[in-house]
Copies of this chain bind each other. A is one copy, B any other.
Amino acid sequence: MRVTPVMEKFILHWGEMGSRWGVNRSVAQIHALLYLAARPMPAEEISEALAVARSNVSNSLKELQAYRLISVTHVKGDRRDHFSAEADPWEIMLRIAEERKRREIDPALSMLRDCVMEAEEAEDTDPAVRERLTAMLSFLDELTGWYEQVRRLPRATLVAIVRLGGKVGSLVRR
């Protein structure tokens, strides 16, 4: 796969973004490459295209599979695994959201529940502390509840909502 200057620009920036969002650079770069390539690529080829170690590619591919952003395919008469990326940006976003929720929001919620409980038990707890812990818990609870429902809506509905923009406001107010 020949990496053209435009592709390189996109791949490098995507990698940069990744590291600002807590995903490591190689993972994000490989994702970008596969997204653009739009055809299954074997690990070796990815390694060459981006000039990163083969082992690094292997680990990164595993991470991308954990996010369900890429899938493995096979080519007849070729023993190698070929990897291709999810093409739909909506799907990409939702899958990332799903995995991050699982890894970060869920643990945060359970931590908050613990904190609120412990704060109620410990009588010397400052009421302000208790109140703020509870406020944060309710907020996150509410938000994840919303997310759980919205993510299941059909794609077309999701698109329609986004297209509506701020006008949902007036709809809701009725």
Q: Which A residues form the contact surface with B (CB < 8 A)? A: 4-7, 9-10, 13, 17, 19-22, 35-39, 87-90, 93, 103-104, 107-108, 111-112, 114-115, 118-119, 122, 124-126, 128-129, 131-133, 135-136, 138-140, 142-143, 145-146, 149-150, 152-154, 157, 160-169, 171-173
Q: In angstroms, how far is the closest chain B Cβ from the Cβ of A41?
A: 13
A9-B114, A17-B108, A149-B166 given; 8 more Cβ-contact pairs under 8 Å = A4-B122, A6-B118, A10-B111, A36-B133, A38-B126, A38-B131, A87-B135, A160-B172
Contact present for B20 and A129 (CB under 8 Å): no
Is the Cβ of A9 less than 8 Å from the Cβ of B166?
no
Quick one: copies of this chain in the complex? 2
For the complex, what is the distance from the CA of A164 to the CA of B147, rounded to whole Å? Answer: 11
CA distance A161 to B165 in the complex (A): 12
Name 10 interchain pairs, CB-CB below 8 A, sorted by A: A4-B126, A4-B129, A6-B122, A6-B129, A10-B111, A10-B133, A35-B132, A87-B132, A89-B140, A160-B172
Out of B103, B132, B153, B168, which one reaches A38, CB within 8 Å? B132
Known A-B contacts A157-B169, A172-B157; the reply to A142 vs B163 at CB < 8 A is: yes
> How far does the alpha carbon of A74 sit from the alpha carbon of B161 in the complex, in Å?
45
Q: How far is the CB of A90 from chain B (nearest CB, A)?
A: 7
Pick the contact of A22: B22, B37, B124, B163 (CB < 8 A): B22
Q: Which B residue sits closest to A142, measured CB to CB?
A: B162
Partner of A150, one of B4, B136, B166, B173: B166
